[in-house]
Amino acid sequence: MQHDNNKEITSLLKKQRPLIYRWLGDRIFSLFIFALGITVILCTVLMAIVLYSDGAPAINKFGFFGFLINKVWDPAIKIEFGAFPFIVGTLITSVASLAISFVPAIAVAIFTAEYSPRWLAHITDNLINLIAAVPSVIIGLWGIFVFAPWMRDTFYTNIYMWSMDNFPSLLPILGNPIGYGMATATLILAIMIIPYTTALTVDAFHKVPKEQREAAYALGATKWEVVKMAVIPYARGGILAGVMLSFGRAIGETMAVAMLIGNKNTLPFTILGPASTMPSVIVNEFREAVENLHLSSLIAVGFYLFIISLVVNLVAAYIQRRFSITGARTV
């Protein structure tokens, strides 16, 4: 009896709006969610506006493109600033670290998702995620006290000596093998971004439908061939998403890089020698920038960094949409 009644009421209400959408709690919730969503967008826009307006004195003085391509950064004598060395440093370190980390990251993902027994996959997964959880200042400290001296004694000095004997023309490109420089910073960055690529790739692998694999096996493919032909192509959207996330992370990484890159503000940079990046110069000089133009230039560097990150993210979204196979869209 009651059941019938309910049915009647529901069908009656269906003509207007479903009952569940008219509950007060539901309305409050949707308003709340809407407000939060708008806040995030507003924050981003406000950030861009503030970065631009605070950086405006520098951008106006040196010009929008002038600031971008000016190679001088001199807060003491000339009071002249340009972002070019830092843009170069940022792009080189992030692209190089991405290139270095790509193959190991994918390899770890293939291993944990396809090859290893479950208990081992569990351990490797956790260990890899642990790298992402370590604060970058800790990684930087480890880099200063352990990694950089070790790299210097094991590789850099030997490479330097070897090229001194065999290819003296290489020396100006190699630079000072002191251990604190672009090569060390890039390697540390590569280690730091591996978890991002790996995590998203593993997720993408797990989302490959079982039928896909089984079909490949049915055709007589070996395990490697299954991974190569059925799994990776299907998951490439997710892999690219991971790569782009890593790239964004590498561009923005601040503390570990600032501690290890050697912080040289003038071009040219060398492979082993010191260099610097956009985030590192900001974190280095922001606190004690007494000169107004100096502060404003640092904020302008932040503005350009914002733009670069934005472009990277947009490109990433585009690539991901282009390359995803329908149904395997991840994240």
Partner 1 sequence: MRLFSKLVLALLILVMFSTPLLYAQRRVELLGAGASFPAPLITAMADEYRDLTEGKVTVNYQSIGSGGGIRQFGEQTIMFGMSEAFLSDKIIRGIEQNTGGKAFNMPITLADVVVTYNIPGIDKGLIFNGEVLADIFLGKITHWNDRRIRNLNPDKNLPHLPIQVVHRSDGSGTTNLFTSYLTKVSKEWENDIGYATSVNWPTGIGANGNEGVAGIVMNTPGAIGYNSFAYALLNDLSYGYMLNISENVIPPSFDATSAAANIELPDDTRILFTNTPNPIGYPIAGFAWMLCYENMEQNKAISSKQEAEELIKFIVWTMTNGQNLSQQLGYAKLPSAAVERNYAMIRQMKWHGEPIGKNILEK
Residue ranges that bind partner 1, judged by CB under 8 A? 72-77, 141, 144-145, 148-149, 152, 176, 178-181, 258-259, 262-266, 273-274, 276, 280, 283-291, 295
Residue 50: count other Cβ atoms within 10 Å of its Cβ: 13
Task: Report, in Å, the least distance between residue 174 CB and partner 1.
Answer: 14
* Identity of the residue, 147 or 306, whose beta carbon is nearer to partner 1 in the bound complex: 147
Least distance to partner 1, CB of residue 124, Å: 31
Smallest gap from Cβ 260 to partner 1, in A, equals: 9
Instruction: Please identify, using beta-carbon distances, which residue of 225 and 291 lies nearer to partner 1.
Output: 291
Radius of gyration of the chain (CA): 26
Q: Cβ closer to partner 1: 55 or 75?
A: 75
CB of 75 to partner 1, least distance (A): 5
Q: What are phi and psi for residue 219, nearest 5 degrees?
A: -80, 0
Integer Cα distance of 31 and 26 in angstroms:
9
Nearest distance in Å: CB 170, partner 1: 18
Q: Which is nearer to partner 1, 143 or 237 (CB)?
A: 143
Output the CA–CA distances (angstroms, integers) from residue 272 to 143, 171, 187, in the order listed.
Answer: 15, 10, 11
Q: At its nearest, how many Å lie between partner 1 and the CB of residue 61? A: 17
Task: Please give the helix or strand (H or E) that residue 201 lies within, else none.
Answer: helix 182-206
293: Cα separation from own chain's centroid: 30
**Between residues 112 and 280, which has the closer beta carbon with respect to partner 1?**
280
Least CB distance to partner 1 at residue 251 (A): 19
Q: How far apart are CA 161 and CA 176, in angstroms?
A: 11
Q: Dig out the tokens for 200 from the structure.
A: 């998203």
In the bound state with partner 1, the residue whose beta carbon lies nearer, of 101 and 280, is: 280
Is 67:81 a contact under the CB 8 Å cutoff?
yes
State the Cα angle at 247 between 241 and 251, rounded to 5°: 150
Q: How many CB atoms within 10 Å of residue 267?
A: 13
The closest of 80, 135, 95, 23 to 300, measured between CA atoms, is 80
By C-beta, is 31 or 45 nearer to partner 1? 31
